[in-house]
Structures are given as structure tokens and as C-alpha cells.
Amino acid sequence: MELTILLLIPTVAAVVAGLLPQRREQDAKWVALLASVAALALSIWLFLDFETGKEGYQFVQREDWVDIGAFNLQYAVGVDGISMPLVVLTTALTVAAVLVSFSVTMRPRLYYAMLMLLSVSVLGVFIALDFMLFFLFWELELFPMFLLIAIWGSGRREYSATKFVLYTIAGSAFMLVGILVLAFSANTFDIEQLGQAEFRDTVIPLGWVFFLLFVGFAVKLPIVPVHTWLPDAHGDAPTAVSVMLAGVLLKMGGYGLIRMCVTMLPEQADDYSVWMVAIGAGSVLYGAFVTLRQTDLKRLIAYSSVSHMGLVLLGIGAMGKTALMGATYQMLAHGVITGLLFVCVGLMYERTHTRDIARLGGLARQMPIIATGLVFAGFGSLGLPALAGFVAEITVFLGAFQRYEWAVLMAIWGAVLSAGYILWTMQRVVFGPVRHEWDGLSDQKHWWEHTVVAGLVAAVILLGVYPALMMDYIGPALDPIIERVES
């Protein structure tokens, strides 16, 4: 019931914001803020109420939905130690996304309705316990994303929005086949049961099924070579969408890989393990190399995300307890760090109206607070200890090294490359001589800007110095997966 309320809060907000009368349209942001804060409060309450150390799903609710022969669909929701932190991440970044949108004045009713709908769909993906429900939420997310990029974006926004949708749909077509094959074989769509099922007599070999599911999630993660939608989408999306996209949407891919690919098909995952690890380490390096060539600040961060999500795949592919822990933690860490990066870049863009690195420079003098935030987030991104990314990266490395030394010895070069692109970017954007072109621009000053930056900074530090907070949740949820992998 609690999780259903969590879904309903932004849903209701979307409807209310959408139906506001014309003269009150600027109030849509307050509706969205109220709802997102309420959702965050509820998710934190659930997080605290969650019994750690217990295997299985909690706050479970199941209702029959469709029941036609083999098609036995449920409305089933629940969270375990993997999805619980991701739910909190989603609600927290939704608040951040709403706050950074406060300066949006164009068609606010539709904008905030779409933002709320986006939040609903991502939450739905993380809490769904029915595979078809999962898929519906997965697809639902495309609709608000398409509109948000195509209407409120910049640059080639329609191209980027279309590319995003086509990529995801192509991936999810593969995924849907995989879902149906598994569900018909086990005669259930229940994710919990599928996670314990032995599949026999499938219409296509299980290796293929694994591949189909993998492609669907890999596009979302994204991994090289199905990553080129990400820099376009990020480059042209409004700030709030970038925050949501980098912060939580990419995590749907990693979540799916762990929940579906590894848990449901451990044997096949093990067979493909070396490929996942190779692609993961390859993505880390490929993403980092291409990041070094970027001249657009947002595309640069997008490519760095490709590199960082490669670490998630590396950890998942290595399949050990520590490696999976690292992968899950990397999703959380990347969520808050990259969220903060996009917020700071968004604040700069709002003032300078350019993302061209060559035109920026010396902003540490004109915008000291925003510049400090950007440098902080940059150090988070390059894996500085005491910040979130470090714990995640090193856990992935330690975990994966036990099985694939060569892949880790490749991937650790990402640490040097990330230092390269982050510090070079800082040198060009915030340091160096003052450019008088940007004189008179204001620094961060509104309460919503301060709130969002301070909140994310706190989260990056908290995850960096107190990993046990999340690991005590994630660990017990990984145990059954590891048992299944090992048996």
C-alpha cells in the first residue's frame, strides 16, 4: 500500500498541475514541489522502516490485474535492498529536478506534469514485481522524456528526442521478446518467482533470451556501441531532464541487468560474463577517450557517464558479491554526482547561455559558488576519496579483480583519464583569466538553487564517508543472487 501511495503522489500531482487554470499556470511548480517533497519524505520513511538484513521484498502489494490463460498479470509492487536505495535516489533527484526547473516559465503546466510522470515511470520500474508491469513503466517513461526534450530542449532537440526514443524502443523490442519467452516458460510474470525459476523448454535457447534482455538494458545503461543517443539527449535536454536522465534513468539499465539478467538467468550470465566484463572495461576507456575530445560541456559530462556506467557493467559482469555491490553502489554514486554536475552546468548555462567550453573561462571569479560546486562535483566524478564515487569504483575494482584481472587493469586507466578530462575542463571553464564578457552575471543566489546544490553536495559526502548506510541494505539483497549464481 505504501508503495502505491508513493506512485500516486506524483501521478496526482501530474494531473493537478496539468489541469490548473490558465491564470494560475505558474503555480504548477509549487504543486510539483509539494508532491516531490512528499514523495521524498515517504520514501525516506520507507527506507528507515525497511528491515535490513532480511532477504526478499518488503512493503509488497499484489492485486490481480489480467488473467487470460498464460497471460496472468498482476499489479505487484515491492522493494528489496537493491531497489530501496534506488527509490530514495529517484525521489530525491525528482525534488532536485523540480527545484532547478523553477526558472522555467514556458508552458509550466505541461512541463511539470511531464516531469511528475517521468518520476512515476522510473519509480514504477524500480518497484514493479510483475514483469509486464515493469515493462509498461519502462515504456511509459519514453513519453514524458520525448516531450520534455523536444519542447523545452535546445539545439537539435527534435532529432535528439527522436533518437532517444528510437534507441530505447529498439532495445525494448528485444527485451519484450525475452520477457515473454521467460514468462511463458515459467508460466508466470512474477519477478520474484522468475528469480527463483528453472526455465525449461523455452521456444528459443536461454542464451538468446539472455542476449535479448541484455540488449534492452544495455541500450539504457548505455554501453558502447549503443551509447550515441546519450550525448545527444543530454546535450539538448533541459537541465532537469539531464539530472533525471543521468541520475536515475540510466540506472534502470543497471537495475534490469542485476534483477533480470543475472538473477533470472545466472547460468547464461556466467557464460557471457567475460563478454560483459570486456564490454564494461571497453566502455570505461572508450567513453573516457571520447570525453577528452568534447567541446560542449553537457556532451562532455554525458560521455563521462558512458565511461562511468561501464564500471557498472564491469561489476555486474564479474558477478561476485563485492563486484555486484560495487556496481550497485556505483549507480547510486553516479546518480548524485552526475546530478550535481548537471545542476551546476545548468546554473552556468542559465547565466551565460553557452555550453561551449572554448567561450567559457575564469568563471571562478564571477560565479564563485557555482564554480565551487562544479569543482566539487568534478572531484566526485574523478573518484576522490571521501566522496561517493571512490567507494563505488574501488569496490567494483576489488570485486572484479578476483576474477578478471586483465579487465580491471584496463579499467583503472579510466581513473587517470577521468582526472584528465575533469581537471582540463575545470582549467578551461572556471580557472584562468577573467573574461569580461561574463562580468555582471549573478552567482547562485536563489533559495532553490542553494537548496539543490547543498542537498546534492551533502549526499555525495554522505555516500562517500558512510557507505555502510546503503551497503547494509544492498548486501543482504545480493546474497540470494550470489547463492543462485553459485549453485
Partner 1 sequence: MPFLAADPVAHGVPTIDEAVLWAILAVPFAAWLAIVVYVRKLPQAAGWLSAAAIGVAMVLSYVTLFNVIDADGGVAIHTHEWFRTGLGEGPEDLVVNIGLRIDGLSAVMLVVVTTVSFLVQVYSTGYMSGDHGYGRYFAHMCLFTTSMLGLVLADNLFMMFMFWELVGLSSYLLIGFWFHKPSAAAAAKKAFIVTRIGDLGLLAAMLLIWSRTGELGVAEIQEIAIAGTVPQWVITWFALGIFAGAAGKSAQFPLHTWLPDAMEGPTPVSALIHAATMVAAGVYLVARFFPVFEHTEDASTVVAYIGGLTALMAASIALVQTDFKRVLAYSTVSQLGYMIMALGLGGYVAAIFHLFTHAFFKALLFLGSGSVNHSTNTFDMRLMGGLRKYMPITYFTFLIGSLSLAGVPPFAGFFSKDEILLDAWRENRGLWVIGVAVAFMTAFYMFRAIFLTFHGQYKGGQPVDHHDEDSHFHGDPAHPHESPWVMTAPLIVLAVPAVAAGWFAWDHMFADFINGALPEVHAHGSTFEWGIAISSTAVALAGIFSAWAIYERKWVTSASIRDGFAPLAFLFERKYFLDELYEGLIVKTIMQRGWNRLLELNDKYIVDGVVNGSGQVVRWGSGRLRTIQTGQVQSYGLGLLAGVIVIVVAVYSANPL
Place of cell 487554470: 21
Shortest gap between Cβ of 247 and partner 1 (angstroms)?
23
Shortest gap between Cβ of 216 and partner 1 (angstroms)?
11
Task: Specify the residue, 95 or 364, whose C-beta has the smaller distance to partner 1.
Answer: 364
Cell of 362: 575564469
Task: Specify the residue, 29 or 227, whose C-beta has the smaller distance to partner 1.
Answer: 227
Task: Specify the residue, 227 or 334, whose C-beta has the smaller distance to partner 1.
Answer: 227
Shortest gap between Cβ of 397 and partner 1 (angstroms)?
6
The rounded distance, in Å, linking the Cα atoms of 330 and 471 is 12
Half-sphere exposure at residue 63, Cβ-oriented, CA atoms within 13 angstroms: 5
Cell of 57: 521484498
Task: Specify the residue, 65 or 431, whose C-beta has the smaller distance to partner 1.
Answer: 431
Helix, strand or coil, per DSSP, at residue 401: helix
Is-contact 316 330, C-beta < 8 A? no
Task: Specify the residue, 40 or 223, whose C-beta has the smaller distance to partner 1.
Answer: 223
Task: Specify the residue, 15 or 434, whose C-beta has the smaller distance to partner 1.
Answer: 434
The rounded distance, in Å, linking the Cα atoms of 319 and 455 is 33
Q: In 3D, which of 401, 409, 381 has the Cα closest to residue 285?
A: 409
Task: Specify the residue, 78 or 414, whose C-beta has the smaller distance to partner 1.
Answer: 414
What are the CA-CA distances from residue 258 to residues 50, 92, 195, 329 (Å)? 21, 22, 11, 12
Task: Specify the residue, 278 or 482, whose C-beta has the smaller distance to partner 1.
Answer: 482
The rounded distance, in Å, linking the Cα atoms of 230 and 246 is 9
Q: In 3D, which of 291, 214, 338, 267 has the Cα closest to residue 484?
A: 267
Contacts by residues 390-395 (CB-CB < 8 Å, ≥ 24 positions apart): 390/464, 391/329, 391/333, 391/463, 391/464, 391/467, 392/311, 392/326, 392/329, 392/330, 392/332, 392/333, 392/334, 393/311, 393/326, 393/330, 394/326, 395/315, 395/322, 395/323, 395/325, 395/326, 395/329, 395/330
Shortest gap between Cβ of 459 and partner 1 (angstroms)?
17
Is-contact 240 100, C-beta < 8 A? yes
Q: In 3D, which of 371, 232, 362 has the Cα closest to residue 294?
A: 232
Task: Specify the residue, 93 or 301, whose C-beta has the smaller distance to partner 1.
Answer: 301
Percent of the chain that is helix, strand, coil (3-state, to 5)? 75, 5, 20
Shortest gap between Cβ of 75 and partner 1 (angstroms)?
20
The rounded distance, in Å, linking the Cα atoms of 7 and 27 is 22
Shortest gap between Cβ of 291 and partner 1 (angstroms)?
9
Shortest gap between Cβ of 225 and partner 1 (angstroms)?
5
Task: Specify the residue, 94 or 307, whose C-beta has the smaller distance to partner 1.
Answer: 307
User: What is the distance between the terminal CA atoms of the chain, rounded to a whole angstrom?
Assistant: 35
Give Cβ neighbours of residue 409 (< 8 Å, ≥ 6 apart). none
Shortest gap between Cβ of 86 and partner 1 (angstroms)?
18
Shortest gap between Cβ of 480 and partner 1 (angstroms)?
13
Shortest gap between Cβ of 182 and partner 1 (angstroms)?
11
